[in-house]
Structure formats: structure tokens, C-alpha cells
Structure 1
Amino acid sequence: MFTGIVTDIGEVATVDGTQGTLKRLRVHSAYDPATITMGASIACGGPCLTVVGFGPREEGGCWFDVDAAAETLERTTVGEWQAGTRVNLERALKIGDELGGHIVTGHVDGVATIVAREAITAGDDPWGPTARFVIKAPQALSSFIAEKGSVCLDGTSLTVNSVTDDIFSVLIIPHTLNVTTWGARKVGDKLNLEVDLMARYAARLAEARGAG
């Protein structure tokens, strides 16, 4: 389980394997290698991936390897990652950790697309720029997105500002723009979308009651 609070921006170093089967990715991170174990779960740009190898880097921080299977490659943006791709990282939640975002599983539901980026404050604002992103969700997932509800986009916990059919918006504050990959996001970019866990189960219960 995760919270959608990004703790590092990693960079894909290598990608081995072919599209549609299995890819092994090596990610460089500032995490202390002494805190990583084999089999650990790390949310990489949204999807929860399992560490299958790791070690220290001479310049500090660590490298870790993760495998992305066919389902992940098909339903997320991982299949498009290449050397140099920057990804939001979050370690798995520990008992006693602060729950600063919302409950996130790392199970991506689909891929959304940025259709507009609007500047809310100028770059010379004392706290830095703020931006509103307008995003198109897959039609099948649009009913799970509610105004003032939570969504996880590329591993970031965000509050939905507005919703119209399959179009919704989120506001990104200066801090988030600086410490995640959101600062470099532009129109046309694809985002890993995980809908709110409670919305998903509420819809499933309603469906089951209707069928019964």
C-alpha cells in the first residue's frame, strides 16, 4: 500500500526485454541501498513494482531492478519508458507512517491524457508557479472520478477540482511541481491513472446488488 506522496524522482537507466512479454528496468534513485530489500515494493510512476535486484551507486544513492510483465506493459505507460525517463517513486507504507495522501494500491486502472496545462501563477511568484492540468480519462473510468475526490496520477495523490463527463482537472502547487515529474508535464503526455479505492468498491457493490 502507498499514499501517493512522492519521496524521490528516479531515472530509468536501462530497459531490457521486448514489448508485450517482460521488461526488466534498472532505476537510479537517491534512496539508501541499505533500506531496500529483495522483493520490496516500490511505486514507480504509479505501478507497484517488485525489486528483483539492487545495489549502491558510486555517486551515492542506489540502483534497483524491477520487472514489468505483459499486464503492466499493456495497461500503463511503463512500456514506453526508456533510458532517461524520469519517474515518481514511493516506498511501500509502513505501520505508523503518516498517511499524507490517500490509500493507493499501485494497481493502475488505465492511462489518462493531458489535454491542457494552464498557468495559475507566474514563474516569478515568490512561491513559484502553480498550474492547473485538464485531463481526459478513459471513458470506462470516468464514473469513478468525483469532484473533490482523490485520484492517483503517475503515483501522485491529487484532489479533483472539476469533472465534466470524462474530462477532469487537478491543481498542482509549486512544491509538487518541483519535487515530482509534474513540472515537466505537457499537453499530450500520458499518465498512469488509479481511481480511488473506495469508489471502485462502491461501484462493484452497486453492480452486485443490481445483479442480485
Structure 2
Amino acid sequence: MIRPARALLLSALALLLLAAAPAHATGYRYWSFWDRTGDHWTYATEGPGTARPVDGTVQGFRFAVSADSADAPRPRGAASFGAICARTPATSGTKRIALVIDFGTRSDAPSGDTPPTLRWACARVPPGATTAEALATVAEPLRYDTNALLCAIAGYPRTGCGEQVSATEKKTAAQDTGPSVGVHAGAAAVAALAAAAIWQARRRRHA
């Protein structure tokens, strides 16, 4: 049978482990692809290599770490076709696609990379062009993997392609400033329970 004092110490250690354990949830670092209707972004139902938008379409790309399409951050900032393509007049035999390229935040960036600033671009392309072809006219160099997954826009990021990452890899201010609140709380719990265990042990000896 485990004595009360020892049980308290074991409980304290368990609390500390739970508080200090890193989150194991994972996500993927990748470029997501979006369609814009009015003031709203929706996750695209097909890839940029097959999508063939019509003249006047607004589409976006966002680089971030996310678990899936429901979790993926949308491109930031207001975006309208009129604003993005204001200096690109319509011409016969072409179409214009407004593109929003959001390189994400520092917390989403691979180690050693700094995300460029958000970019708007108006691509003028043939009527049958895909979004990928439109993107290539305004944001080279593009990089793809062997499965035709879009890995980099305008050379960003320099390496990697849709790699799985741990949630704890995201660089946050809390991580930079020292142990998390959970670690401190766990340590406090251990100290309190250990003190209680010592008190109980001394009480039994003097009983």
C-alpha cells in the first residue's frame, strides 16, 4: 500500500509532468489557396494548377502553419479587384486576375527565414490560363515538389514543402522569455504537496 505522504509526492510529480509536457498537436507549413467573393475568403475547392478563373476574379495565397483547411489562416487585408487592378486596363484577348500574396508571420516562418511583406498583383494572362500561370507572371520564382505541390512563391520559403511541424515549434514571445506558466504552476504544485507530505510524515512520527 502506498503511504499518504508518498501518494502526495507522486501526485505532485504527475501534475508537474502534465504542466511541463509540450503540446503534441501538429500542423503543416504550406501555402493555402483562397477564392474571394465580396468581402469574404473561402478555401479554394481546387488547386491553382487546375483553376481557371475568369476576368475580374480575386484569389489569394497565404503561407502559414495549420492543421487543415478549417484551421488555415486567411489572407490578410482588404482586397478588391478594382483596387488591385486599377492600373491594368482590360484588353481584348486577355483576362485580369487580382492576386493577394500573404507571406504570413514570423511565427509561421521556417527557421532562418523572414517573411516578405504582403503583396498585391494584377496578372494579365490569356483567357484559358490557370491561376498558377497567372501567379507565375507576377511572383517568380515559384517552386514545386515532385507531386506538383506549390512550395514557394517569389522564392519564399527558401526550403521545405508542406512539412509537418509540432505546434511547439512556433516561435512565440512566451517561449523566448522563459518557462511557460504551466511549468511554474506545476513546480508550485510540487512544492506545496511536498510540504504537505513532509508535515504528515512528521505528524505520524510524533503521534
Structure having the larger proportion of residues in helix: 2
Q: Which has the higher contact order (CA 8 A, sep 6+)?
A: 2
TM-score (norm 1): 0.25
Higher-Rg member (1/2):
2
TM-score (norm 2): 0.25
